[in-house]
Amino acid sequence: MSALAHEMRASYAFTPGQHVAIRVPSFFARNSAKTLGFPYERQLNKGLRSGSVRLRQDVSILRDGTHSNLEANPMTTFLRYASLLLLGFATLAIGLLPGYDTIGVAAPIILVLIRIVQGIAVGGEATGALTLVAESMAPAHRGFWTAFPMASGPAANVLALGLLGLLQITLGETEYMSWGWRIPFLLSIALIAIGFWARRRVDESPAFQAIKTAKAVAASPLAVALSDQKLPMARVFFIKAAENTLLYLFSTFALLFATKWLALTAAQAVDIVLVASAFSLPVILGAGWLSDRIGRRSVMLAGLLLAVASAFWLFTATHGATPGELQLRVILCLCTHGLLLGGLAPFVTESFPTPVRYTALSASYQAASVLGGSVAPLIGAWLLQRTGTPLSVAIYAGVMAIPAIIVIALGSETRGSDIEAVRSEI
């Protein structure tokens, strides 16, 4: 549970930062959109910032990947606590950062730099928690338990967006936009303490302890992964790219779609995504449980196909759609995405041998996030502008899902695999 608490804390640290990019104008020049002549300039800037953070996460993966899983030594212990402090104080710094009216162009530049620091700090945390849980739980229930780290992201979204919404209602729009939005960032100082508690309780998994005893720890796990695990890494890449694209289209891009295309208010759009995220939580856990009964591939395929169908329903909403109508569509989208996520969690961890599991999974996972999810809002905004119809965004979602559907259909089932098996050639 400490690993899950740490992953949720990391996810919480990112969510308010995404909110700032969309919702709070104080870091940006007031006439920047007119200057650029691009109707979705704010979303473009957000996408670029998201991409830069994802790239810094990949750098962090390469740094941490030199140490298999959670192998303890003084340097890795220092890095683990250093990343915790970086993440906590970087989040706190956003809450203290002056706006554009005070320090000019330095405000957005510093904001991007802080987000990069957050990316460096949090890189690999999601796959680290996922690997630790997968290697520690009984095989018969691995799907259910690995769904918990996956659910931590939506849970953190609900917590952070719920707090932001409560502050907005309590303080009013003017006070909230003036200073109230800073409160969640300032509260991150408490998360540092929670993070230290969680980090102290994380031990190596039994599977990794077994390979240490057998002296089968890979000296250079990244090199071994790239040499011996090309096909599994490619399979995970395509599945994760599809999943992350759908996630960003159903959450981040949905905010743009709701406000720019359907003319809803920003507050209504945020509330819609918040409620839908809450609905997706039991679906993710239920999908993980179901994957223990019928297999990972069946759950993932059902989730992918239903999510693509849901994308066509969402992005064919017409002008005049009410918040209630859009709410039902986004709930279906995020719940079908949750179905995919619950099957994906155990599948990706069972795709690699223990000596290189963390590194191989992290590298393919984060590369897919950069090339899939982080650019999805940009591509969605560009398609909407160029084609004049959101149907093109639904088609884009379908195209991104095709490689994932193929590799899942042609791949083998991993349910029941021996995750503790040690390959002697590594």
Residue 380 above 70 pLDDT?
yes
Write out pLDDT tens, residues 273-324.
989 999 999 999 999 999 999 999 999 999 999 999 999 999 999 988 999 9
CA distance 353 to 420: 8
- The dihedral region occupied by 317, where left means phi > 0, alpha psi between -120 and 50, and beta the remainder, is beta
Residue 178's pLDDT is 84
Looking up tokens 């992964």 gives: 225
Residue 365's pLDDT is 81
pLDDT-based confidence at 112, cuts 50/70/90? confident
End-to-end CA distance of the chain: 31
What torsion, rounded to 10 degrees, do the Cα atoms 106, 112, 115, 120 define?
-110
Number of other residues whose CB lies within 10 A of the CB of residue 213: 10
Write out pLDDT tens, residues 117-132.
776 566 556 677 788 8
Write out pLDDT tens, residues 221-253.
777 778 788 899 999 999 999 999 999 999 889
CA distance 330 to 314: 7
Q: If you average pLDDT over every residue of the chain, what do you get?
A: 78
Predicted TM-score (pTM) of the model is 0.76
CA distance 347 to 303: 14
Write out pLDDT tens, residues 134-193.
888 888 899 999 999 888 878 877 877 778 778 878 888 788 888 888 888 888 777 777
Residue 331: CA atoms inside 13 Å, Cβ hemisphere, count? Answer: 12
Average of pLDDT values for 85-101?
83
Residue 406 above 70 pLDDT?
yes
Give me the CATH code for the 2-406 domain, please: 1.20.1250.20
Residue 122's pLDDT is 61
Residue 394's pLDDT is 97
Q: Output the six-digit token pair for 400.
A: 């991104």
